[in-house]
Amino acid sequence: MSNNRNSYQRTTVAASTFCVLAILTGIAAFAVPWLVTILFFAFCLAAAAIAGLVAFGGIIGLSRDAMELRGQPYYSKRPRECAAGAFVHLRRKLLSLLPGSPARLRLWPGEWVKVRPFAEIAATLDDEGRLDGLPFMPEMIGHCGKRLRVFRRVEKIHHYYGPTAPHLRRLQDAVLLDELRCDGAGHGGCQAGCQLIWKEAWLVPSDSAEADLPAPEAADALWLNSYTKARSADGEERYACQMTELPAATTRMSWRDPRHYWRELRSGNVRLGPFIVAVALALFNAVQRKLRGAEAPYREPTDRKTSPKEVLDLQPGEIVRVKTRRQIEETLNHVSKNRGLWFDREMHRFCGGEFRVASVVRTIVDEASGKMLSMGSACIVLAGVAATGEYLGLCPQNELIFWHEIWLERVTRHLEM
C-alpha cells in the first residue's frame, strides 16, 4: 500500500476512535450533577463532531485516491448551489412591498433579476467607472436591460498574488449571473473567460418574464474604455479589469474564521452535502499538515526540474479524455507544474473523464501586473469543467480550468451530450 494511503488510514482510524471515545465519555457524564453534565456533554459532542468530520474527510480521501488510481473521474454533474425555495420567494415578495428599493437585495442562486439600464448603472459609478472599487467593464454593457438568473453569490474571492498570497478576501453585495463570462473585447482580446461579477446595485429583482430592454448605444460606454488600459512607467501597456482590481474591492479575511464557510451555506451557494464534504476535507487536511502526513488529493513527489511538451493541435469541438493521475504525474516537475502551468487539486476529479474542447487560450491578462501575456503553448478549456472551490473554502468564483495538451488525449468516438 502506498505511503499516502497508509497516512490517510492512520488519521482516519485515530479520528474515528477519538469520536467514539468522546461520545462514550459524554454519555458517562450523566452520572454527575446536571449542569456539569450538560456542559461536559456539549463539549464531548463538539469534540466527537469534529473528530467525526476528520474521519469522514479521511474516508473521502481514501475513496477518491482509489478512483484516481483506477482512472475513474469523480466530478459531480449536480449543481453545488441550493435553488431558491418558497421561503426565499416569500421574502422577495415582502421586500417588494416596502417603499423604495431595499438597500441590500441579498439575492439567492436561481432568482431572476434584470440588469438596470446603463444610465442607472453609470449613476452608481465613480470617476473611474467603479462601485466600491469594482469596475463595471465594457464587456458588461451589452447585458444591460436583460433578464437573467442569479448563478451564485460572491461572498469572498481567493487571491493568488502578493506577499501573503494565497488568501481569502471578503466581497459584499455581489453575484454571478448565469454563465456570463468576459469575452475580453475591451481588454485586448483576453481569453481568460473570467465570470463577470455584478454588484446588486446594478440589478433589480424580476419575478415576471418581462421583455428585455433595448441594448445601450456603444457610445454610451466609450468613457469606460478609457479605464481599461494605460501605459506604465516602463512604457508597457497595462490593463485594468475586475480581476486585476479585486484587491481594491475586497478586504482581507482569515482562513481560520469559520464565518466564511457559514456564509456560503446561508446564502445558498452550496447544498448541505457538498458543504459537509468540503469542511470534512479541510479538517482532515489540516490534521494531516500538523502530522506532516499526505494531504488529499495526493500527487507523487518528484525531483524533476524540467517538464515535457506534447502538441496535439486540438480545436474547439473535438472530444478528449483527461489522462490518469499517474500519467499526468509523469509530466510534472518538482513544484507540480508543466511548463509553468500548475496541475491544481481541483483537476484531479476530472482525470479519466471525456469532455469536449470549448476553446483554445493563447493570451490572457495577468491579474497581478495587468500585462497581456502570450502563452508559450496553447492552453485548453474543456466544456463544463470549472473549479468547484472545494479545496479553497468553497470559493464561488467558478473559474475555468486550463489544461496543457500533454494532459489530454484525443478521442475519436462520439461523446454523448
Per-residue pLDDT of the chain (417 residues; tens, 9 = 90+): 577 888 898 899 888 888 888 777 767 665 555 555 666 777 778 888 999 999 999 999 999 999 998 889 999 988 888 877 666 666 666 666 666 544 567 888 988 999 999 989 999 999 888 999 999 999 999 899 999 999 999 999 988 776 666 788 999 999 999 889 999 988 889 999 999 999 999 999 887 666 666 666 555 566 566 667 765 666 678 888 999 999 899 999 888 888 899 999 988 999 999 999 999 999 999 999 999 999 999 998 889 998 899 999 999 999 999 999 999 999 999 999 999 899 999 999 999 999 999 999 999 999 888 899 998 888 999 999 999 999 988 999 899 999 999 999 999 865 554
CA dihedral 346, 347, 350, 351 (to 10 degrees): -140
385 Cβ neighbours under 8 A, 6+ residues apart? 75, 350, 355, 400, 401
Q: What is the pLDDT of residue 208?
A: 67
The answer to whether the CB of 188 falls within 8 A of the CB of 229 is yes
The whole-angstrom separation of Cα 274 and Cα 76 is: 10
Q: Are strands 341-342 and 337-338 parallel, antiparallel or unpaired?
A: antiparallel
The whole-angstrom separation of Cα 365 and Cα 191 is: 8
Joined grid coordinates for residue 300: 507523487
The whole-angstrom separation of Cα 136 and Cα 380 is: 28
Degrees (nearest 5) of the Cα angle 76, 77, 80? 75
The answer to whether the CB of 87 falls within 8 A of the CB of 370 is no
302 Cβ neighbours under 8 A, 6+ residues apart? 329, 332, 333, 334
φ, ψ (nearest 5 deg) of residue 174: -140, 150
The whole-angstrom separation of Cα 391 and Cα 389 is: 6
Q: What is the pLDDT of residue 23?
A: 78
The whole-angstrom separation of Cα 170 and Cα 154 is: 9
Instruction: Pick the closest to residue 359 from 200, 183, 202 (CA basis).
Output: 183
